[in-house]
């Protein structure tokens, strides 16, 4: 089944050729969500492998043992991406597939290295530029067992740097776009504050046996920021001169709108919410070189302090702003002192504002609603605050009605809701570029329906429908994949 799209009529005609000639577009994925082969060919256990094999942790009781079998089917996947017209593919490396036990002195799994070499070569042979993420939430379980993983910055950092250097050495002759960490804030908030993701630590004993939401979240975040900077420093000094690549970090962040635009406290709360969610990581790296004052005011000594040496390497340590975003929330201030386990900035997040306006149409995921105007505002907010080139590294949606038996109907594959999401967001992106915002890529989340962390197979984000019940995890293209190809042909200036 094929679809055609015509963008030569208003309002899209005015956006033609808006994006730079070398703009990259494609899809983003994560190793733990797509590869499968979780304990074969020498791969070690990750914290997510352990988490999903622990009863009660994943919503539908599934595991990532097979996922979409991308490890076995990578050639098929690359061919399918090529048919969609993508120019780039963002994927993550599994640390425990490359170094099964993770540590600085632990042996390398050459079969794992071979897999990623083969994937990179296959992408390049098909004209697709690889964007490689070193860490997408899957710490080797052995490091968690040895010393608590990222809670121990002193022991963790040398292990991470050895892993990073090995990747630069083995893949950097072809990989020119590196991302150290994907969404370090989500990793810490879900894994150490709420305890609903691996490694499943929090203050809530009905949910987690260990952890302290009030402190560990910020300790782990500090470890991620500093180890990112150290990896970037090594890359710039030892590899970039001859490999000629870029290195950065990808941060999450949804837009926060005041619940009542006429209430100064809500306006302030929305700004504070953006600082707690986004500037938490972005200010040290791209801005002031330190955590936001609003965070220090609320958290006090529970928020770590950068040493002078750390500040010197953290500030300016990312060549670009890697940006993941999905939706917008209305934010209302809370009176009184913040709860000790609060990580939002002492605010309440709501689906409607004081006038009863909804933040957007519902998807098949409880927190995600289509909100393009907030996306446009967020692009400007980040650009105005940091003035760093933006690489959009994740953006996408689920759609209701896609949980069906194979083969999916024409109606399911004609995923109008997802097409409308992409169309409305990309209009905002193109308009932001017209306003002077420097945006250089867009990666849709995601290529195929996948294993969506603690949601299991219940959240279908893909532009390709997957039959998870079939041995081959049969792929069925959705209309949204072809829409993106057609629309980017319209938006990207001809070479």
Tell me how far the alpha carbon of residue 233 is from its chain's centroid: 22
Q: Within 10 A of 301 (CB to CB), how many other CB atoms are there?
A: 8
Sign for the CA dihedral angle at 264, 265, 268, 269 comes to negative
Which tokens belong to 111? 């079969």
Q: At a CB cut-off of 8 Å and minimum separation 6, what does 269 contact?
A: 256, 258, 259, 331, 332, 333, 334, 345, 346, 347
From the list 128, 125, 93, 129, the residue with the least C-alpha distance to 112 is 93
Task: Evaluate whether 287 touches 386 at the Cβ level (below 8 Å).
Answer: yes
| Set 224, 275, 394, 452: catalytic member | 394
Instruction: Give the pair of three-digit tokens for residue 246.
Output: 């870029």
Active-site choice (35, 45, 122, 183): 183
Residue whose structure tokens are 């990532």: 64
The answer for residues whose C-beta is within 8 angstroms of residue 199's C-beta and 6 or more apart is 47, 51, 139, 144, 149, 191, 192
Question: Of 182, 181, 180, 178, which is closest to residue 240 (Cα–Cα)?
Answer: 178
* Longest alpha-carbon distance in the chain: 60
Look at strands 321-324 and 255-258 and give their pairing.
unpaired
Of the candidates 330, 445, 441, 435, the residue with the CA atom closest to the CA atom of residue 397? 445
183 is catalytic: yes
DSSP code at position 375: H
* Active site amino acids: 183, 394
């Amino acid at each position: 089944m094929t679809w055609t799209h015509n963008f030569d009529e208003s309002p899209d005609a005015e956006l033609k050729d808006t994006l730079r000639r070398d703009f990259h577009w494609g899809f983003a994925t994560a190793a733990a969500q797509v590869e499968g082969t979780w304990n074969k060919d020498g791969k070690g256990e990750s914290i997510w492998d352990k988490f999903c094999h622990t009863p009660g942790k994943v919503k539908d009781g599934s595991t990532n043992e097979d996922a979409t079998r991308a490890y076995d089917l990578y050639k098929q996947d690359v061919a399918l991406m090529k048919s969609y017209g993508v120019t780039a593919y963002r994927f993550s490396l599994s640390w425990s597939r490359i170094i099964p036990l993770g540590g600085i002195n632990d042996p390398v799994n050459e079969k794992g290295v071979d897999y990623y070499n083969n994937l990179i070569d296959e992408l390049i042979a098909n004209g697709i530029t690889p964007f490689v993420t070193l860490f997408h939430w899957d710490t080797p379980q052995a490091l968690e067992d040895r010393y608590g993983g990222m809670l121990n910055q002193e022991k963790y950092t040398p292990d991470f740097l050895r892993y990073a250097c090995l990747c630069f050495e083995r893949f950097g002759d072809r990989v020119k776009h590196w991302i150290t960490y994907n969404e370090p804030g989500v990793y810490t908030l879900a894994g150490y504050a709420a305890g609903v993701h691996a490694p499943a630590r929090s203050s809530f004993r009905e949910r987690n046996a260990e952890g302290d939401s009030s402190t560990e979240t910020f300790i782990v975040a500090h470890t991620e920021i500093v180890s990112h900077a150290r990896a970037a420093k090594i890359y710039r000094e030892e590899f970039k001169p001859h490999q000629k690549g870029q290195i950065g970090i990808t941060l999450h962040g949804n837009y926060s709108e005041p619940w009542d635009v006429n209430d100064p406290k809500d306006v302030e709360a929305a700004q504070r919410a953006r600082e707690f969610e986004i500037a938490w990581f972005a200010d040290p790296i791209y801005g002031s070189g330190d955590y936001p004052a609003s965070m220090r005011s609320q958290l006090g000594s529970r928020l770590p302090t950068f040493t002078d040496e750390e500040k010197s390497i953290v500030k300016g340590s990312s060549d670009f702003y890697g940006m993941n975003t999905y939706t917008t929330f209305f934010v209302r201030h809370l009176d009184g002192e913040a709860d000790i386990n609060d990580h939002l900035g002492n605010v309440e997040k709501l689906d409607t504002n004081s006038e009863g306006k909804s933040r957007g149409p519902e998807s098949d995921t409880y927190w995600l609603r289509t909100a393009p105007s907030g996306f446009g505002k967020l692009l400007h907010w980040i650009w105005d605050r940091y003035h760093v080139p933006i690489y959009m590294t994740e953006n996408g949606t689920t759609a209701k009605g896609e949980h069906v038996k194979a083969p999916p109907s024409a109606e399911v594959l004609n995923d109008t809701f997802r097409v409308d999401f992409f169309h409305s967001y990309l209009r905002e992106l193109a308009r932001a570029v017209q306003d002077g915002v420097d945006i250089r890529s867009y990666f849709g989340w995601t290529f195929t329906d996948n294993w969506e962390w603690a949601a299991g197979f219940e959240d279908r984000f893909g532009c390709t429908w997957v039959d998870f019940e079939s041995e081959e995890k049969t792929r069925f293209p959705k209309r949204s994949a072809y829409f993106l190809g057609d629309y980017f042909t319209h938006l990207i200036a001809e070479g």
